[in-house]
Structure 1
Amino acid sequence: MSRYPRIDLDGALVAITGGARGIGRATALAFAARGARVALGDLDEDLAAATAAEIGPAAFAHRLDVRDRASFDAFLAAAEAHHDRPLDVLVNNAGVMPTGAFLEQDEALDRLTVDVNLHGLVHGLRAAAPGMIGRGRGHVVNVCSLAGKFPVKGLAVYNASKFGAVGLTAATRLELDRTGVSVSAVLPSAVRTELSAGIDYGPLPAVDAEDIAAAIVGSVRSRAAEIAVPGYVGAAQTLSTLLPEPVMRTLRALARDDRALTAVDAGVRRRYLERITRG
């Protein structure tokens, strides 16, 4: 029997950060298909509104900057007021992924990466968890990454932010034990979205945003601590920690593990960086 009170998605309120595009959009569509009411928070409020309009009356869009706790508080308050019910599920999905050699990466991009990918989760948890604890029920999903367990050349600061996200999720899950509130980490492999566009990851399995959305929705039932997508990559990552470093170095070389540096469409990545730094 689960230690967490059941959440019936039919009529539940689900707030999703980064809800305008990619994984966030797919997640909003998936929850709405299960009868949930969804609130989409995004810096691009116009695009979020377009996604909400596509979903219909069950969806609501609001501008959100996850780097700003006050913005997060305002988003959740607006979502609850619009849908006239308390928050049941928070999906901390917003994220950015600059790529490049560590010693050459811009410090402003480093700060942006950590602020969005790590502090954004901190703000979301602190904004949502107290109300959930008071009601004795709730669920928070942190969209982390397998890069939060497996380092990749060309993604050093992104790795750092996602390692932090995985640790934050694990620790807050322990602290909220027996409150009725669960915290889960979803760890995607490479996802076919703008986040990783222009990078040839070679043998690393790529998944679609809809695959991640299905795992996020499924976590409301399972309340699992970590969910890797695809699952076998999570198992392979765990196995990799048991191999001696010389063996892993050889395997990495055979797999050309420097693709985030060498197998990149510079134009596509430049356009992505221009968009995330405009916000």
Structure 2
Amino acid sequence: MADRKAIFITGGGSGIGRAIAEYFAGRSWFVGIGDIDAGGMAGTQAAIAGDSFAKRFDVRDRAAWDEALDAFSAAAGGRIDVVANNAGIPLGGSLADNTTDEIERCLDINLKGVLFGAQAALPHLRKTAPGSCLLNTASAAGIYGTGGASVYSATKFGVRAITEALDAEWAEFGIEVRDLMPGFIDTPLIDRTPNQGSNESIRSRVIEGGLEITPPLEVAQAAWDAVHGQRLHTLVGKTARRAAFASRWMPGKMRKMARQSSRPLGN
């Protein structure tokens, strides 16, 4: 087991996390998943051929991070090669209509959870460096602020900043730091309503806006490429690639488009 590479993935009970787990397991990696959804984790483990590890915990709990990674390291023979900071939740709607609880929960899971994960991962990744990797899940919403999703956009800009900052901080240790910037992915998250005051799913708004929905497998392949490549930010899907191009080369047009499409999710 000690010679077999190991990856630990938060949000591993469904969606992108499950797809990454299956992809790496299919390439002979030992996979560990963390989630608050025990049933979802059981489903992921059932989908993985061979042995795996699961730990139910909340990414907002800093001490729980240490417990989870220590337990996974022991199960993996004392090594962790990649920690995938993937857990996250959506939040849409006008900022004026978002509740305090919604805002704090989104900030805590999407931003503080990533910072806590990075802190907890560092000693483990130093052991397997050079070549170990912290892989954060950002978003196309971290390329240009999305009208109707100001809090979510703020968290994903934050994840992008964390990636860039830690890429600099951890270079001396030989640890790679990367992030994924996907558009809308075909996961259970987009079937949810964007906030407590809405009865319209995120999926329906995406379809209404004429945007594509990317299969999770494409994100899993991008995760593999990010871990093994040199690209700091990996764009996934047409929406992300178009946003990146427009924000860099056509900022005025991007601003105009953002205003035209800024009907808040949930309104």
Normalised to the residue count of structure 2, the TM-score between the two structures is: 0.87
Alignment check: 8 A CA contact 2:7 2:29 kept: yes
Cα distance between partner residues in 2 of 1:35 and 1:135: 17
Cα distance between partner residues in 2 of 1:146 and 1:225: 14
Aligned position for 2:184: 190
Partner secondary structure for residue 61 of structure 1: strand
The partner residue of 1:217 within 224, 244, 247 is: 224
Aligned position for 1:50: 43
The partner residue of 1:143 within 137, 145, 155 is: 137
Partner secondary structure for residue 64 of structure 2: helix
Aligned position for 1:157: 151
Task: Report the alpha carbon displacement of residue 16 of structure 1 after superposing the two structures with TM.
Answer: 0.3
Task: Report the alpha carbon displacement of residue 84 of structure 1 after superposing the two structures with TM.
Answer: 1.9
Task: Report the alpha carbon displacement of residue 83 of structure 1 after superposing the two structures with TM.
Answer: 2.5
Task: Report the alpha carbon displacement of residue 249 of structure 1 after superposing the two structures with TM.
Answer: 4.3
Aligned position for 2:118: 125
- Does 2:25 match 1:32? yes
Task: Report the alpha carbon displacement of residue 58 of structure 1 after superposing the two structures with TM.
Answer: 2.5
Gaps of 5+ in 2: 192-200
Amino acid at match of 1:172: L
Aligned position for 1:175: 169
The 1:175–1:235 alpha-carbon spacing in structure 2 relative to 1, beyond 3 Å, is farther
Task: Report the alpha carbon displacement of residue 248 of structure 1 after superposing the two structures with TM.
Answer: 3.5
Task: Report the alpha carbon displacement of residue 164 of structure 1 after superposing the two structures with TM.
Answer: 0.7
Q: Percent identity?
A: 32
The 1:244–1:237 alpha-carbon spacing in structure 2 relative to 1, beyond 3 Å, is closer
Aligned position for 1:206: 213
Amino acid at match of 2:107: V
Partner secondary structure for residue 152 of structure 2: helix
Partner secondary structure for residue 47 of structure 1: helix
The partner residue of 2:244 within 230, 234, 237 is: 237
The 1:100–1:52 alpha-carbon spacing in structure 2 relative to 1, beyond 3 Å, is same
Aligned position for 1:61: 54
Task: Report the alpha carbon displacement of residue 241 of structure 1 after superposing the two structures with TM.
Answer: 4.1
Cα distance between partner residues in 2 of 1:244 and 1:67: 35
Amino acid at match of 1:162: K
Task: Report the alpha carbon displacement of residue 110 of structure 1 after superposing the two structures with TM.
Answer: 0.6
Cα distance between partner residues in 2 of 1:220 and 1:144: 15
Task: Report the alpha carbon displacement of residue 130 of structure 1 after superposing the two structures with TM.
Answer: 2.1
The partner residue of 2:87 within 88, 91, 94 is: 94
Cα distance between partner residues in 1 of 2:27 and 2:251: 45
Alignment check: 8 A CA contact 1:183 1:223 kept: no
Cα distance between partner residues in 1 of 2:225 and 2:238: 13
Alignment check: 8 A CA contact 1:94 1:117 kept: yes
Ranges of 4+ aligned residues in structure 1 off by more than 4 Å: none
